[in-house]
Amino acid sequence: MEVVQVLHMNKGEGETSYAKNSVVQKKIISIETSIIKEAVQKCLEKNFPDSMGIADLGCSTGPNSLMVISDVIDTIYATSNQKEIPLPEIRISLNDLPGNDFNSIFISLPEFYNQLKKEKNIGQEGCFISGVAGSFYGRLFPKKSLHFVHSSSSLHWLSQVPRVLDSNILKPLNKGKIYISKSSPRSVLDAYLSQFKRDFTLFLKSRSEEMVVDGHMVLSFIGRVSADPASGESCMQWELLAQALMSMALEGIIEEEKIDSFNAPSYAPSAQEVRSVVEEEGSFTINCLEAIEIEWDGGQQAVKTIRAVAESMLEVHFGKEIMDELFKRYAELVGDYISKTRAKFFYLVISLTKKG
């Protein structure tokens, strides 16, 4: 599966769209606000640039897309007033994969600019917003052009399914599952971890070339506190989805082989795994690394969130015609699980500074 081609949040404003089902992601951004504010302020402590480069990686679409940017601009504006220094030219790059619904973001920009002008007297000549389509697992920007980088709810997505899983179609390693589970062999767990390490290392290396010395970066993504990658806190949403698919296979609605050949291109790392990659890559200093517990939002809302995020990949592999039935069954399983368990997952939030 070519992740770059098939991964995107559900587009538009419909009932299953990401725009209407990204409450959890909004909650994470709200929690990050103080960390983002502190990071931006530190960017401006040693050097108040005439032109400041900012990138939001994995910006997606919907109301959250400009939320972080608003917070960053607010902090720059307040800091410039406090220091009685002219506001720098602000260059903002919104990045996501080519399939992202950039159009809905661009349509909302005139209103965003009007608000900036009204509240802060910042016109389009002082704030330049552009879209950058491409994978952040590689270079996206010129060298030393960025002062602050942010990414939320994105880095748990891998650049690809681990190769060993894709190359064992005739004898699937993770039979009946679509992600790491309690029944997965050790080779599956190792493959996912290795892919995460490769991807995150490349992400850090790419950003280190694009950022100025003492530039700051704040990242948040799904992770775990358990040392066990098969723990429910990081796997249950995929485990229940596999169960829904298998129930359809038992009734002959889909082929079981289809399930065996699908593996989610996602990984929820532990804090220690993240720390280890950062330290080994060597370009950044860790300012803070926190785990935030998030409870699943009610049965139906949790299902809508997962559908908005994962449906594009599932549709390509299993066919559009089964999606409503799949998520109907998934909703029943999620409802049953939540009735018996305090369902939760974890986000990791890390703040980094580019070394000299």
349 bridge partner residues: 220, 290
- Average pLDDT taken over every residue of the chain: 86
Q: What is the CATH number of the domain that holds 346?
A: 3.40.50.150
The pLDDT confidence band at residue 217, using thresholds 50, 70 and 90, is very high
Helix (H, G, I), strand (E, B) or coil at 3: helix
For residue 38, give both structure tokens.
Answer: 């502190």
**Tens digits of per-residue pLDDT, 246-281?**
999 999 999 988 998 889 999 999 999 999 999 999
If one counts every other C-beta atom within 10 angstroms of the C-beta of residue 130, the result is 10
CA 117 → CA 123, 127, 249, 316, distances in Å?
5, 10, 56, 43
Q: Residue 290: what pLDDT? A: 94
Q: What is the DSSP string of 185-247?
A: -HHHHHHHHHHHHHHHHHHHHHHHHHEEEEEEEEEEEEEBSSS-TTSHHHHHHHHHHHHHHHH
Helix axis angle, 67-83 relative to 23-46, nearest 10°? 30
Number of independent structural domains in the chain: 1
- Asked whether residue 141 carries a pLDDT value surpassing 50, the answer given is yes
Distance in angstroms (rounded) separating the CA atoms of residues 153 and 8: 13
CA-based end-to-end distance of the chain = 39
Residue ranges making up the domain that contains 103: 3-354
**Tens digits of per-residue pLDDT, 104-127?**
889 889 998 998 888 888 877 789
